[in-house]
Structure 1
């Protein structure tokens, strides 16, 4: 299958080769206020979504974990405690600004010793086959240009018996959709404008969520690259879903 010349960046069509650059510009712009905006946008509920992901990871002492699009390190922080000094967590992000914020934040809090930081593209992960017991990507897959290629890359570096967890915005329940749309397109960009001076990046966020595959489509995409026992759990009326799949 030939690669498409263009792809979506929110509701816009851009050259496929340029999408990563456009996404990078968004996250360079918001990196410093990323955690604040997460709290404002979700009324703090993003912490529950991430806690639920950690609790369902099955990660134990001595495990190796890859946190893709790990950003400011919310998941890495918790995984570091779970794996202990005999385990390892790799915080990977394609965006240098986000990676630096995460590294500085965790280091300032004294969370060091079992964490590595790697700037990496999810479509071509720079790790050997069968490297990790658990892989997570939280609110990052929708920004990836070629999601199938990224999922295949994650499958390759996951150990047999390991689990992939994709935490991502998804398609809300029908009754929630009009409320969510009004919030996303009217309130969210204004929050971005007020607190970060960047309205456009948060308009892109709302658009990118709408362009992301729905629950069943993403589940099938995971199955197609080799993951087994794929399932998802909706949270907050389907605004967010946690997809899980295993490599056997």
Structure 2
């Protein structure tokens, strides 16, 4: 359960004027440092390496969350804010979006984008620096949750799912988007070849080759679709409308998975 202690702070005006809420974070320091380092080029690399298709996947994930006008929704591991901005458009000015991440640099960029994009509905977004394993929200207080490329990076997947189940209202949905561990040798070979021969060389142009080698390791150590299904069901989730986690290879480039779950 989350502690009742809360600290508030503002980043310097040169970084962003938006208010961020801070919570103690229990995570691997080197992992958080990695995401801080890649923050300035994260969006550009996502566009380049996925040929822009990550934007389609994110819209699908938000759609599957069931977020609607007036809802209070949460985007965990929000990064630079793509899913949070899409959720904001869904819930409208009467709703509320919270984007939570452990990387202050990612949140700084998200907040700066919020200011520069200047859409009226984006005023409903709050950025919180916090831990996916210790969500600073009350039980049953959230109408929908999204998590893009985050479950693979948390230290304890079971605890993360437990926390998401705790804060979700009964009958609400959790939508997870992530790369998944391939089970077919051919798909696994394509995935590994793409990372080693395209992702890492491109990242090296930004001085981030070593950081993006982590991607291959995190995917190879991640659960398979069946393993995630089993874990989610054990935690008390159920699959929405009979849907299950599914894997696709988009133009034979990326293997990814969606999981749409209901409390």
Interval of TM-score (by shorter of Structure 1 and Structure 2): 0.7 to 0.9
- CA distance in 2 between partners of 1:116 and 1:18 (Å): 21
Counterpart check, 1:109 vs 2:117: yes
Question: Which residue is equivalent to 1:136?
Answer: 146
Residue among 25, 29, 46 paired with 2:33: 25
Quick one: structure 1 residues 198 and 121, their matched pair in 2 at CA, closer, same or farther if it must change by over 3 Å? Answer: same
Unaligned runs of 5+ in 2: 1-24
Secondary structure of 2:92's partner?
A: helix
Counterpart check, 1:189 vs 2:200: yes
How many pairs does the alignment contain?
Answer: 230
Question: Which residue is equivalent to 1:175?
Answer: 186
Quick one: structure 1 residues 200 and 59, their matched pair in 2 at CA, closer, same or farther if it must change by over 3 Å? Answer: same
- Cα RMSD (Å) of the superposition? 1.7
Deviation, 1:37, is: 0.6
Counterpart check, 1:123 vs 2:136: no
Question: Which residue is equivalent to 1:233?
Answer: 246
Question: Which residue is equivalent to 2:261?
Answer: 245
Counterpart check, 1:159 vs 2:159: no
Counterpart check, 1:66 vs 2:66: no
Deviation, 1:41, is: 1.5
After superposition, give the CA deviation of every residue in 1:34-90 in whole Å (9 maximum; x if it has no partner): 000101111111111111112222211001110001111111111111101111110
Question: Which residue is equivalent to 2:217?
Answer: 207
Deviation, 1:177, is: 2.2
Deviation, 1:229, is: 2.5
TM-score by length of 1: 0.88
- CA distance in 1 between partners of 2:98 and 2:142 (Å): 9
After superposition, give the CA deviation of every residue in 1:79-117 in whole Å (9 maximum; x if it has no partner): 111101111110110111111111111221014321111
Unaligned runs of 5+ in 1: 1-16
- CA distance in 2 between partners of 1:129 and 1:57 (Å): 18
